[in-house]
Amino acid sequence: MIPAEEHRQRAAAHHQKVRRYTEGFLTRRNAGLKHPVEDFLFTYYSFKPGQLARWHPGAGKVLEGAGGAEQAGWKFYTTVPDGTPSGGATVDLKAFCTERAAMISFAGRLLSQTSARPAQLGCFGLHEWAMVYRSAQHGQRHDQVPLRLGPEGTDEVVESLTIRCSHFDAFRFYTPSAKPLNALQPSRETQMQLEQPGCLHANMDLYKWAYKLSPALGSDLLLECFDLAWRIRELDMRASPYDLQDWGYEPVRIEEPTGRAEYARAQKAFSEQAQALRSRIGEVVAGWGDLTT
């Protein structure tokens, strides 16, 4: 049972934390402006800022006095008597697991199998470079931001290093000329076999699985996944071929040995943080037990 006053305080605190991330995006969107780094989590992923700002305690918790309030009408919520005139509101875990059974099963297996693999730390963020390889021929993604080394210099970096991206949702944005250069040819069908915990995009995707498991998964853990994805996105773009210094981002020069070492160190730290979150999500899902079968 979460008392009504505690619920209000925790919901307000969560909203303030989320506002720190969303305020700039919402202001820019209203003005028709874009940010090449900070907008990504709100445009690539389907979870809206308003959804992120809504605090959920997670399955097994009852919000005291919320039975007659807004929360009782939220999707997957149900009312329960809690000794107050308006009753309480709680996540209907059985209904959630019944409707989302396939997604829960897939997410649980993917997170478990990814967690069991060793982290591969030698990709150096070349997936972003492969997305603009031979841009003179294929066109440039994010063409509002210049390439730090120019088109030819970017192509030389791609051709001088081995690309070994294991993440399909990054690989699918490669230019046609770059795809044959990748050591792996990931697909949606091989995602379960190839996803590994060193991959920045697999670790950013913890946010995706967390919000797909919401509201049965609590918002506190969801926001931790979002914050990790936010910080990973910054590294991803600092190590990219784009010149973002006018936006306040110093490059991680992966075309140089010192830059590659810097990237690998940061990648390792993010992998360790992601593994801890991956384990926590897995424990929550495992606790739902037979409801998902």
pLDDT, tens digit, 9 for 90 and up, residues 51-102: 999 999 999 999 988 766 788 889 999 998 866 656 789 999 999 999 999 9
Dihedrals φ, ψ of 63, to 5°?
-85, 110
> Which residue type sits at 95?
A
Q: What is the pLDDT of residue 65?
A: 84
32 pLDDT tier (thresholds 50, 70, 90): very high
Packing angle, helices 101-116 and 200-212, rounded to 10: 150
Lowest mean pLDDT among 63-72, 205-214, 250-259: 63-72
Cβ atoms within 10 Å, residue 236: 23
137 pLDDT tier (thresholds 50, 70, 90): confident
Please state, in angstroms and rounded to a whole number, the distance separating the CA atoms of residues 268 and 177.
29
Q: Which helix (H) or strand (E) holds 277?
A: helix 257-286
Please give the average per-residue pLDDT across 155-169, as a whole number: 96
270 pLDDT tier (thresholds 50, 70, 90): very high
Please give the average per-residue pLDDT across 265-280, as a whole number: 98
Distances (CA, A) of 167 to 102, 187, 197, 271, 283: 21, 8, 11, 15, 24
Q: What is the pLDDT of residue 82?
A: 63
| 104 has a pLDDT exceeding 60 | yes
Please state, in angstroms and rounded to a whole number, the distance separating the CA atoms of residues 255 and 258.
9
| 211 has a pLDDT exceeding 70 | yes
Chain mean pLDDT for the chain: 94
| 293 has a pLDDT exceeding 70 | no
CB crowding 29-51: b at 16 or more within 10 Å, else e: beeeeeeebbbbbbeebebebee
Q: What is the pLDDT of residue 9?
A: 95
Q: Which two tokens stand for residue 155?
A: 């192509």
Tracing tokens 């807004």 back to the chain, one arrives at 70
CA 72 to the chain's CA centroid: 28
Collect all residues with Cβ–Cβ distance below 8 Å to 91 and sequence separation of at least 6. 56, 57, 58, 59, 60, 61, 76, 77, 78, 215, 216
DSSP 3-state assignment of 219?
helix
Collect all residues with Cβ–Cβ distance below 8 Å to 112 and sequence separation of at least 6. 282
**85: which DSSP letter?**
T
DSSP 3-state assignment of 182?
strand
